[in-house]
Amino acid sequence: MFYREVGQYRTSYRADMAIFPILQDRIGLLVILAVAFVGLPLVGGSFFLDVVATPFLIYALAAIGLNLLTGYTGLLSLGTGGFMGIGAYACYKLTTWFPGVDIVVWILAGGFAAAAVGALFGLPSLRIKGFYLLVATLAAQFFLQWAFERIPWLYNNNVSGTIEVPTRTLLGLPITGATATPVTRYEVALCIVVVLTWLASNLVHGRIGRSWMAVRDMDIAAELIGIRLLPTKLLSFAISSYLCGVAGAMLVFLWYGSAEPSVFSIDLSFTILFMVIIGGLGSLLGAFLGAALIHVLPIVLRGVPPALGIDIASSTVEHLNLMIVGVLIILFLVAEPFGLARLWQTGKQKLRVWPFPY
Amino acid sequence: MTEAAGHVAAGETLLAVERISLRFGGVTALNDVSFDIRRGEIRAIIGPNGAGKTSMLNVINGFYHPQRGAIRFHGENLARMNPGFAARSGIARTFQNVALFRGMTTLDNLMAGRALKMKRGLFWQLLRHGPALDEEIAHRRVVEDIIDFLEIEAIRRVPVGRLPYGLQKRVELGRALAMEPELLLLDEPMTGMNLEEKEDMCRFILEVNSQFGTTIALIEHDMGVVMDLSSRVVVLDYGRKIADDVPDAVKQDPAVIAAYLGVAG
Amino acid sequence: MLEGDVAHRDTFPKLLALNARRFGARPAFRHKDRGIWRSWSWTETEREVRAYALGLLRLGLRRGDAFAILGNNRPKLYWSFTAAQWLGAIPVPLYADAIADEIGYVLAHAEARLAAAQDQEQVDKIIAVAERVPGLARVVYDEPRGMRDYDHTRLVAIDDIIAEGRRALAADPSLDAWLDAELAKGGAGDVCVILYTSGTTGRPKGVEIGSGRAIAAAANSVAFDRLDERDEVLAYLPLAWAGDHYLTYAQSLVAGYCVSCPESPETVAENLREIGPTYYFGPPRVFETLLTATTVRIADASAMKRTLYRYFMAVARRYGERILNREPVPPGARLLYALGRLLVYGPLMNALGFSRVRVAYTAGEAIGPDLFRFFRALGMNLKQFYGQTEAFILLTSQADRDVRADTVGPVVADVEVRIAADGEVLYKSASQFLGYLKDAERTAEAMTGDGYVRTGDAGFFDAAGHLHIIDRAKDVGRLRGGALFAPKYIENKLKFFPNIREAVAFGDGRDFVTCFLNIDLTAVADWAERNGVTYGSYQELAGHDRVIALLAEHVRAVNRDLAAEEATAGAQIRRFLVLHKELDADDGELTRTQKVRRRFIAERYARLVDALYDGSETVDVETEVMFEDGRKGTIAARVKIHDMASGAARAERAAA
Amino acid sequence: MHFLYLVFIDPFVQMGMAPDLLAQTLWEGLVSGVLYALIALGFVLIYKASGVFNFAQGIMVVFAALTLVGLYAAGVPALLALALTVAVMFVLAVAIERLVLRPLVNRPDIILFMATFGLTYVLVGMGELVFGGDTKQMIAKQLYLPSGAIDLAMLGGRVTLQKLDIAAAIIASVMVAALAVVFQYTRIGRALRAVADSHRAALSVGISLNQIWVIVWFAAGIVALATGIMWGARSEVSFALEVVALKALPVLILGGFTSIPGAIVGGLIVGLSEKLFELYWGPLMGGGTEAWFAYVVALIVLLFRPHGLFGEVIIERI
């Protein structure tokens, strides 16, 4: 409806293969970025940034990570929580060893540890498929969580068994720890997420992305056109885990401020998986939409009863949330297996052909 | 598309299967089958249902591993192929019931066919600029030539899952061509097609063979088609080779006639 | 200044050279090839064409030779025209879908020296008839695919020719001077193209067009619609058709706008959306299909959208055209229309690829008023013209804001039109053809004694000076009273009503006009459903009083139209009947192209025709029909005859 | 060197030195193995009949137990509560079939699998909502389950066998036997197997898929209830069980997704091995190894047998 594509024709492959070939989309993207970078920090209060915005970004990044693995490469994983943990702990260790180095560097570096571990646990994926692979990733999840609890070295042997985020500054501006303002933490998170998302989208639009999808759609045929299955799958595991690892580090350093092992439990893996399912398998956009729904919805729901002047025990609300999320998942699988992203796509298509239905 | 460079001169044997026997448990799919494929020819493998035609192709590109026998490709002896190696050494393949990447568009399917030829590593892929994009574009050019060749411009951006069967087969051929193969294995390229589509497909096969000098081995039910297309025909029946000759001779061959009548009756 | 400049150019190659200087880097041609749009600037085009011309020369193309051009719209085929003209040779375009035999005839008749073919398919056709064309030296082709194994002794790729030419130019600079000299030799008197028209009778005729005249005509029309180098055109019509040659060749070279060639015939609609032409021509059936497609797709849309669409289309129908014509409309309406543009018209035009259309034409046959108004109401400046190949197109053309569905507009500049006593439209035009190739006799037939050209169409001018085309002149008759009787004109007016499938009008040599009507089953059945009319069979429905009443309304409307023009006022429909069976090609009542065979029907249904004139109220008929399976059978029916004069009252009662 | 000793020699020395402890551990392992097996049994039932990989089996156990306890707490006499719980499980089965399976019929397995995730959340939410999140005591006594223990003096020491555990073992084996009989010899059993082979086949035999599904999910519900009771009686009823229930996955890997005996064997293997490992090797790595041991075992098995110990290998036809 807002689309006026007439007269938009491509005169080069470069333009034709652009990730946002339609002018209106590019404009929309710019608007969104502007709002995210400038708008929200201005209008959104610290509560909003801390409780809604920043966590949303972090979850979205993790969801992108898992989506690369599950949505693009078709490998089911419940190890996400564990991989995120690796990132967090790695970052923690690194920053304790080299306090001087800018924390953002370590957040990004933490991902590499996760990538390594991810690739390791990805090794079986060559021989194991579907549910069987799921078990392999569960092994990773439980083993890692166990490791987080039982290896004191990971949390610098402090009695609480948790990692306490120290204050770290970037150019004199504290971006982690107690003194860091919500806005700075949000902006840092935003920058990281935007950049990594951009890289991820480049990846899925190129050779590597295609070989992932090829493996997903029909691994036999993929092998037949010369795609080596193991390296492809391992790369997918590694990159997926990298993003999850970074997300994990951000989770602790830019959001929680401190974390005990239970943070990275199987529940986290589930949460991320649901974000991917509801958001839409095989869509980066979906990761964001899924994260928004799963993370923001409960917050909204929590807000509803007070708003209506009803007072229910917060625990009750949590339980309701749980059920609602569950129902949502089932509804989505029934109504739109491809998730919010597909809904978005259809909606967009409708706008493009408006007033026609198709 | 440049002609696939092969170190085997035209007319000489490009690939030979020697005394291949393949069993699944008790069932014998192939029994002591030998034949050769010469560079630049169109080789047909025919035979009634369950004759082991598809199994033969699966052996050639390494999906099945025969219990006995060997494959000679480019003069080197291989006890067993494997799909990856086959692909890398220039063997492409289409399937009886299309094996496309259904979630991807026609364009992406063909681009995926270039996988082997794309070299840029992770770093450039992440940036999707400079060398990576240049490479992407270079291969897009090749793919566009194939799209033009197969006359599938109109479905460039359509997810192949949504295409009618005939077109899917065409796209699959396109994906195989994108590999610029030296040997192209076609498993019943014309099943489930209407007459017009069949004619097109025939035209494409002949043009592929003549223009790109691609050697082709194809399985086909439609005898007429086989006789028009192929230079030599192998006939399998119950996993055995019962004839191997030029089309006309095969047509006369009593054993072949018997086998086909047997099916008919 | 532009005109002044163009005026000195009397051949198309000269215009090309001029444009290369005037517009230099501006795009001249675009072609979607291999998935993206490649374009050639005017300078590049000129360079290509010069090289091409030189190459053609080496292939033996000489001044006066014919150069056949066969294929879909492709830049290189358009260049073939200019390159040939550069050497003073004569391009002869052929229809891409022509069968080998027709091609053989034209090639032989035009004595083609060379032939340019788009691709393998076309090359094959030419090769098939080559021996019938002794003079044919070489065949050049655009797309090499599949011709690798062809015997190339008489085949050359256009690319190779151009390359060859370039090499020669590089090697010997003096050739440039030679080319310029060749260019200068060309003059207004040259035959710039021979367009073959499929004559209704006998072999096609080669219409010779004069270079200077063609350019003058194009210059006029370009000025008329203020076309310039910023306009965009999609070349999708057959390039052998005079209209395409005018729109995408002559006018483009004069105005300097860019011509875009679609990727393939299947992708035209998509490519149209991509390019978004500003100047568009479509024969009525194209708009017909678009409208049908639109209504069908809207029907599938959600209720919300459908109501939105219905509401705003109503708004558009009320104000759209008036706004388009810059007539005063209440500000409220203007606002509403603006809203409609945002919500419906804009997106709709976008979906159809018409967003940027500034000037659009339709012509060739009568267009239904509703169809015509639909697009105008959406804000598309759709107009009509009337023309002929022999006239090098335009005779009359509607100006912006002076547009009517039932006319083809006033006479254009440098043309003089006269209506003969028998109603035939005659003209004298500055751009008219030089004659039919090698056919003085038929050329003479086409002319009147005093040098006017016969169009073969009958028409009349209305008060506003707009020309109405009513029918083929030979079909026009007269009532006994002497009033002009144009059956097709009346029938078309009737058929514009969706409820009427076919109509056959009688009246030649009679006292008054009567007609047979055929209901359109789908439309009327739909109406019946909505109005609770029950029926068991086609026959029953066709004979139903309320249906007849419904059609009577349509007839009355048509009569009102006819009455409005004094030329047709005499020929109003007095009595009509609704046929008990559908007119059918299997029964020989229609031609295979669905045209009514008036005479045959008149004989077959003589009893009905008589009844129409002997004043009887009903008549019984038995007709032999051919069923799908080829069996013959007869259907009997009692057909009611409706008298418009007295019938009005009865119709009312029946409807009540 | 010393490490190698600790890993490869010391544990066995200890076993030799304290056989009674070993026996005790084996028994413990056996019992928890039985419980794993029961959960796995639920999985297998559903997987066999509807091809659905029912992730919610674990939570169904908790849910069943909670319902039972909850009802009792609400003043319903124990046995009646038991009956009511059975009824609830039936309703649940019907509901699932209507609301989840039927709309998703003929969708890819993965989709159905994901749906059971959703189911899990719903059940957890509902359970906590109705009965509260806190842990509860299983009403073992009221259900006439034996309590106390039998002390056997053997192997130069004492091995304690909880009567409850014995009961558990018995009930489990009875249930398994019953199911095996049903599957093998009854019409419905044959139907179930037909469905397992192919839905179309089943339909052609003229069985309503929907009925089948209700039946198996109900059966799985009963199994879940039994498991819940046993488990609850041994520890207490809480959602911690949900995670424990995940252990059924490695069990299935070992046993294969479609084989009831496999499930039992797998369950026992897992139960035994993890207990032994925790006791003798756990200390080396700081204990708590039960959390992951089973999965790692499964993983290792998979590396060598990608389709599990008993799972049949599918030849991919191309």
Give the model confidence (pLDDT) of C307-319 as tens digits: 999 999 999 999 9
Looking at the complex, report in whole angstroms how far the Cα of residue B103 sits from the nearest Cα belonging to chain D: 14
- The type of residue at C41 is S
Tell me whether residues A333 and D115 touch, CB distance under 8 A. Answer: yes
**Alpha-carbon distance D96 to nearest alpha carbon in chain A (angstroms):** 11
> Which has the minimum average pLDDT: B123-127, C104-108, C180-184?
B123-127
Q: Evaluate if residue C653 carries a pLDDT over 70.
A: no
Q: pLDDT per residue over D27-59, tens digit each?
A: 888 888 888 888 888 888 888 777 788 888 888
* Spatial separation of the C-alpha atoms in residues C239 and C142, rounded to whole Å: 15
Residue in D114, D129, D291 closest to A277 by CB:
D114
Chains that touch A (3 or more CB pairs under 8 A): B, C, D
Determine, for residues A9 and C275 on separate chains, whether the beta-carbon distance falls below 8 Å.
yes
Comparison of pLDDT for A202 and C624, the residue scoring more: A202
What is the rounded average pLDDT of the residues A151-164? 84
**For residue A203, what is the enclosing H or E element?**
helix A182-204
What chain D residue is nearest to A134 in terms of C-alpha separation? D249
Residue C268 near chain A (CB below 8 Å)? no
Residue A17: which of B93, B100, B136 has the nearest Cβ?
B136
**Residue found under tokens 């928890």:** D32
- Residues in a beta bridge with C619: C639
**Dihedral sign from CA coordinates of A211, A214, A215, A221:** negative
Give residue B4's pLDDT: 40
**Candidate CATH numbers 3.30.300.30, 3.40.640.10, 3.40.1080.10, 3.40.720.10; the one for domain C476-655:** 3.30.300.30
Judge whether C291 is closer than 8 Å to chain A, CB to CB. no
Which has more confidence, A27 or C628? A27
Q: Specify whether the CB–CB gap between B205 and B42 falls below 8 A.
A: yes
> Closest residue of C to A350, CA-based?
C301
pLDDT of A71 over the 60 cut: yes
Enumerate the residues of chain D whose CB falls inside 8 A of the CB of residue B63: 318
Listed in sequence order, the residues at least 6 apart from B137 whose beta carbon sits closer than 8 Å to its beta carbon are A13, A14, A17
The three-class DSSP label of residue C363 is coil
Q: Enumerate the CATH 3.40.50.12780 domain ranges in chain C, comma separated.
A: 2-281
What does the alpha-carbon distance between residue C428 and residue C453 come to, in Å, rounded to a whole number?
Answer: 6
Q: Is the pLDDT of residue B218 over 80?
A: yes
B256 part of a folded domain: yes
Rounded-to-integer distance, Cα C296 and Cα D293, Å:
64
CA distance C64 to C189: 12
Q: How far apart are CA A268 and CA C397, in angstroms?
A: 73
CA distance D115 to chain B (A): 22
Q: Give the neighbours of chain D: at least 3 Cβ pairs within 8 Å.
A: A, B
Please determine, for residue C487, whether its predicted confidence score (pLDDT) is greater than 70.
yes
Q: Which pLDDT does position D117 carry in this prediction?
A: 84
What was the pLDDT predicted at D115? 87
Q: What is the DSSP string of chain D?
A: -HHHIIIIIHHHHHHHH-HHHHHHHHHHHHHHHHHHHHHHHHHHHHHHHH----TTHHHHHHHHHHHHHHHHHTT--HHHHHHHHHHHHHHHHHHHIIIIIGGGTTS-HHHHHHHHHHHHHHHHHHHHHHH-SS-B---TGGGT---SEEEEEETTEEEEEEHHHHHHHHHHHHHHHHHHHHHHHSHHHHHHHHHHH-HHHHHHHT--HHHHHHHHHHHHHHHHHHHHHHHHHHS-BSTHHHHHHTTHHHHHHHH-TT-HHHHHHHHHHHHHHHHHIIIIIGGGGTS-THHHHHHHHHHHHHHH-TT-SSPPPPPPP-
Residue D121 contacts residue A323 (beta carbons within 8 Å): yes
* CA angle, A72 then A74 then A75, to 5°: 120
Residue B260 belongs to domain with CATH number: 3.40.50.300
Question: What single-letter amino acid sits at B36?
Answer: D
**For residue A226, what are the contacts with CB-CB under 8 A and spacing of at least 6?**
B84, B87, B88, B115, B116, B179
Nearest residue on chain C to B148, alpha-carbon basis: C34
Q: Residue C651 above 80 pLDDT? A: no
d(CA B232, CA B217): 10
Query: What one-character DSSP code corresponds to residue C412?
Result: P
- Which ipTM score applies to this complex? 0.84
Inter-chain touch C264–B144, beta carbons under 8 Å: no
Residue of chain A minimizing CA distance to C352: A6
pLDDT tens digit sequence for C518-562: 998 888 988 888 888 888 888 899 999 999 999 999 999 999 988
> Which of C620, C630, C636 minimizes the C-alpha distance to C587?
C630
Q: Please judge whether A358 and C309 are an interchain contact, meaning their C-beta atoms are less than 8 angstroms apart.
A: no
Separate counts of helices (H) and strands (E) for chain A? 17, 4
Q: Considering CB atoms only, which of A8, A12, A358 is closest to C297?
A: A358
Look at chain D and report how many structural domains it folds into: 1
For residues C80-86, give the mean pLDDT: 97
**pLDDT tens string D192-249:** 766 666 655 555 556 677 788 888 889 889 988 988 888 888 777 777 777 777 788 8
High-pLDDT (> 90) share of chain D, %: 5
Mean per-residue pLDDT, A27-54: 92
Residue boundaries of the structural domains of chain A: 44-265
- With an 8 Å Cβ cutoff, is B94 touching chain D? no
CA distance C66 to C135: 10
Q: In this model, does residue C628 exceed pLDDT 60? A: yes
Does A6 sit within 8 Å of C350, measured CB to CB? yes
Q: Interface of chain A against chain D, CB under 8 Å?
A: 76, 124, 127-132, 134-136, 138-139, 142-143, 145-146, 149-151, 220, 266, 270, 273-274, 277, 315-316, 318-330, 333-334, 337
pLDDT tens-place string over residues D75-85: 888 889 999 99
Q: Does C309 touch chain A (CB under 8 A)?
A: yes
Tokens of C516: 């047979």
pLDDT in tens, C193-245: 999 987 656 788 999 999 999 999 999 999 999 999 999 999 999 999 999 99
Q: Cβ of A139 and D117 within 8 Å?
A: no
Share of chain B above pLDDT 90, in %: 49
Instruction: Say if A14 is an interface residue toward chain C (CB within 8 Å).
Output: no
Helix (H) or strand (E) holding C91: strand C90-94
Q: Tell me how many domains chain B contains.
A: 1
Query: Which of B167-171, C190-194, C323-327, D294-298 comes out lowest in average pLDDT?
Result: D294-298
Which pLDDT value is given to residue C223? Answer: 94
Q: State percent of chain C over pLDDT 70.
A: 96
Q: Kindly state whether A112 is in contact with chain C, defined as any CB-CB distance less than 8 angstroms.
A: no
Q: What is the pLDDT of residues C269-281, one digit of tens each?
A: 999 999 999 999 9
Residue B216 lies in a domain: yes
User: Residue B95: what are its φ and ψ, rounded to 5°?
Assistant: -115, 155
Mutate to test the interface with A, among D100, D102, D122 (most CBs of A within 10 A): D122
How far does D156 lie from chain A, in Å, by closest CA? 35
Q: What is the pLDDT of residues D155-171, one digit of tens each?
A: 777 778 888 888 888 88
Query: Smallest CA–CA separation between B209 and chain D, in Å?
Result: 25
Please, is C302 exposed, middle or buried when counting C-beta atoms within 10 Å of its C-beta (0-12, 13-18, 19+)?
exposed
Q: Which residue of D has its CA nearest to B96?
A: D318
Q: Tell if the CB–CB gap between A226 and B116 is shorter than 8 Å.
A: yes
What's the pLDDT tens digit per position in A128-144?
Answer: 877 788 888 988 999 99
Nearest-5° angle of CA D83, CA D86, CA D88? Answer: 110
- What CA–CA distance (Å, rounded) separates C270 from C263? 9
Are A225 and B61 within 8 A, CB to CB?
Answer: no
Q: Token pair of C365, please?
A: 């046959």
Q: Which two tokens stand for residue C43?
A: 């300078």
Amino acid at C431: S
Q: What is the mean pLDDT of chain C?
A: 90
* Alpha carbons B64 and B53: distance in angstroms, whole number: 13
Nearest-Cα distance to chain A for C347, in Å, is 6
pTM for this prediction: 0.87
Specify the range with the lowest mean pLDDT, choosing from B52-56, C423-427, D298-302. Answer: D298-302
- How close D233 comes to chain A (CA, Å)? 25
Q: Which CATH superfamily is domain C2-281 in?
A: ANL, N-terminal domain (3.40.50.12780)
Q: Could you list the residue range(s) of the whole structural domain that residue B61 is in? A: 13-90+181-264
Angle of helix A182-204 versus helix A284-291 axis, rounded to 10: 150
> Is the pair D, C in contact (3+ CB pairs within 8 Å)?
no
CA distance A115 to chain B (A): 14
Q: Does B99 contact D315 at a Cβ distance shorter than 8 Å?
A: no
Q: What's the average model confidence in pLDDT over B111-134? A: 91
How crowded is the C-beta side of D20, counted as CA atoms within 13 Å? 11
Determine the Cα–Cα distance for residues B24 and B26; give it in Å rounded to an integer.
6
Measured CA angle at C359 (ends C355, C362), to 5 deg: 105
The two structure tokens encoding residue D46 = 């559903």
Interface membership of B58 toward D (CB under 8 Å): yes
CA C591/CA D59 separation, integer angstroms: 75
CB within 8 Å: A330 and D115: yes
Q: What is the mean pLDDT of residues C358-372?
A: 91
B132 is a domain residue: no
In terms of pLDDT, which residue wins out, C547 or C593? C547
CA distance A316 to chain D (A): 6
Distance of alpha carbon A42 from alpha carbon C427, whole angstroms: 75
Instruction: Answer whether A98's CB lies under 8 Å from A281's CB.
Output: no
C145 contacts on B by Cβ (under 8 Å): 148-149, 207
Closest among C261, C281, C344 to C309, alpha carbons compared: C344
The confidence score (pLDDT) of residue C565 equals: 85
| Minimum Cα–Cα distance from C269: chain A residue | A6
Say if D65 falls within a structural domain.
yes
Q: Is B86 on the interface with A (CB under 8 A)?
A: yes
Angle (CA) C411 C595 C632, round 5°: 175
Bridge partner list, C210: C191
Return the DSSP state at C390: T
Which tokens is C496 given?
Answer: 């514009």
- Cβ pair A22, A3 in contact under 8 A: yes
- The candidate with the shortest Cα–Cα distance to C250, out of C280, C219, C283, is C219
A110: pLDDT strictly greater than 90: yes
C566 touches C502 (CB < 8 A): no
Q: What is the pLDDT of residue C235?
A: 96
* CB spacing of D113 vs A131 below 8 angstroms: yes
CA dist C434 and C449 (Å) reads: 16
Asked if residues C270 and B157 have their Cβ atoms less than 8 Å apart, the reply is no
Q: How many A×C Cβ pairs under 8 Å?
A: 68
Tell me the shortest Cα–Cα distance from D108 to chain B, in angstroms.
14
- DSSP sequence for A43-107: HS-HHIIIIIIHHHHHHHHHHHHHHIIIIIS----S-HHHHHHHHHHHHHHHHHH-TTS-HHHHH
Q: Where in chain C is the domain with CATH 3.30.300.30?
A: 476-655
Q: Position of tokens 């008990």? A: C580
Q: Locate tokens 């470069």: which residue?
A: A14
Considering only the beta carbons, identify the residue of A130, A138, A334 that sits closest to D249. Answer: A138
Q: Judge whether C564 and C502 are in contact, CB under 8 Å.
A: no
